Amino acid sequence: MIDSAKIELRNLRAKDYEELKVSMIKSYNSMPNEYWSKGEIKTLINKFPEGQLCIVIDNKIAGCALSIIVDYDKFDDNHTYDSIIGGENFSTHTKNGNVLYGIDVFIHPEYRGMRLGRRLYEARKELCEHLNLKAIVFGGRIPNYSKYAEELTPKKYIEKVKLQEIHDPVLSFQLSNDFHVKKVIKGYLSGDHESKEYATLMEWNNIYYTKPQKLVNTTKTVVRLGLVQWQMRLFKDYEALVSQIEFFVDAVSNYQSDFILFPELFNAPLMAEFNHLSEPEAIRELSGYTDRLLETFREFAINYNINIITGSMPQAIGEHMYNVGFLCRRDGSYERYEKLHITPAEETAWGMKGGNKLETFDTDCGKIGVLICYDVEFPEVGRILAEEGMNILFVPFMTDTQNGYSRVKICAQARAVENECYVAIAGSVGNLPKVDNMDIQYAQSAVLTPSDFAFPVNGIKAEATPNTESTLLVDVDLDLLKELHNFGSVRNKKDRRKDLYSLKKKK
């Protein structure tokens, strides 16, 4: 479990060396003396600072990826490690090269299992695209080959790893991250007895070769949204609910989504065991799971490298009950949001109170806002968030009938038009016969847009099949919003008559 840990992906600095050395020694326990010297690291940083990436957790170097740029046309595929890196001065590095060559990747043993290696590889890919290089290439060790060398050739060994009949901690990971084996090299790394000095020449091709992309840690312009249309069902226990959550997070993250959105009160099935209690007592018991779910979502956000909007769940604060949710960023940080407007049913059945927190949140994809269900039916709230720079509004909702759903969707579409933003809505479907006040659900999750030439004519970018458990994956282009603000057929944000009226958030 994580407490206050924050994940930071950044470029390596010379002053990181002592912490880096500790991490290298721990990572290479089978080769305790094989670590980079301070001078070598300093040379790498001076020559190619963008290519030296690290992940920092609580001021500790948890992982690192080092690379250089080479003119690969000058090398044969049968090169050795020493020849292609150019010695301790990295003389083969050239800014005019055409390939990003990986010279090292490692993860501190304490932080393995958090998918940090995948994050470093993704950062390398972004760097390759940004620098308009043809490919990423490196020689990959096959440390488990020594166990099979007497019975398998390197080629047969690689085939069995590809078929998942054999697991190799290095090759299996590289294959799962979209690298392919270009060839097998003999005598690549001197002294690598575990691999019998064989290596796989791995390659990832940059399909955007003619279109430079942005560096790591810059705001994206095309953002991928993943929406969960959640099936309300009875779960055996809390662990079964978490397993279903992880299924969706895993599935959506495999499509490199930047966000995943869950519905309002998606954890209501856990109230089944409290159905013998009154409705206010049952919802208070359900709130006992909220802190555990927050920690679970934070772990999933880090492990699956995705920003999670957790929908909502009840939270008891003193005598009062609130409907709240969390933005769990993929760097480990999180924010809390509250439902501001409580429906009559929530107030009478559960004794819910409206929250007082209204703000936008910064993410690695720009500013976002979150309004829970009924809140989106109040235009003032969305307008305030838009004034604070929100580009994407997320609306987790829960509606029992088609009437209720129509209110949410129609109002969400209005928010998209009047605030010139994208609005993503996600709800639950199905039935909960053993949970009072949660019997039936109706939803059709969707991503809604402004209505102008650059957007769909009906203002709907995509929508799920109604009343069926599913996911929706949608790309939204933030640059289209900038164009709309300045050159749209109508400009709702610019054309407001501030000389006649104004809207202000109370402190």
Instruction: Give the tokens for residue 425.
Output: 């809505």
Q: How far apart are CA 324 and CA 265, in angstroms?
A: 9
Helix (H, G, I), strand (E, B) or coil at 222: strand
Residues 6+ apart with CB under 8 A from 483: 454
Catalytic residue among 264, 335, 346, 469: 264
Q: Which of 64, 129, 339, 346 is catalytic?
A: 339
DSSP calls for 351-413: -EE-------EEEBTEEEEE--GGGGG-HHHHHHHHHTT--EEEEE---SSHHHHHHHHHHHH
- CA distance from start to end of the chain: 35
Q: Which residue has the tokens 């069995």?
A: 160
Helix axes 238-253, 290-303, angle to 10 degrees: 30
Helices 38-47 and 17-27 pack at an angle, to 10 degrees, of 110
**Residue in this structure with the two tokens 């020849």, named with its chain if needed:** 83
256: nearest Cα among 228, 222, 214: 222
Contact 471, 248 (CB under 8 A): yes
**DSSP letters along 1-32, please?**
--SS--EEEEE--GGGHHHHHHHHHHHTTTST
Question: Residue 484 phi/psi, 5° resolution?
Answer: -65, -45
CA angle 10, 362, 482 (to 5 degrees): 105
Measured in degrees and rounded to the nearest 5, phi and psi for residue 493 equal -70, -40
Torsion of CA 268, 269, 274, 279, to 10 degrees: 40
Indicate the pairing of strand 366-370 with strand 392-396. parallel
Instruction: Please tell me the distance from the alpha carbon of residue 177 to that of residue 169, in angstroms, as a whole number.
Output: 13
Burial-class residue 453 by CB neighbours within 10 Å (0-12, 13-18, 19+): exposed
Q: Which amino acid is at 393?
A: L
* Amino acid in position 409: K
Residue 428 CA to residue 405 CA, distance in Å, equals 11
For this structure, is 328 an active site residue?
no
- Catalytic status, residue 411: no
Tell me whether residue 373 is one of the annotated catalytic residues.
yes
Among 54, 128, 328, 373, the active-site one is 373
Q: Tokens 């309004």 label which residue?
A: 371
CA angle 244, 246, 251 (to 5 degrees): 100
- The Cα 154–Cα 183 span in angstroms is 10
CB atoms within 10 A of CB 123: 20
The catalytic site residues sit at: 264, 339, 373
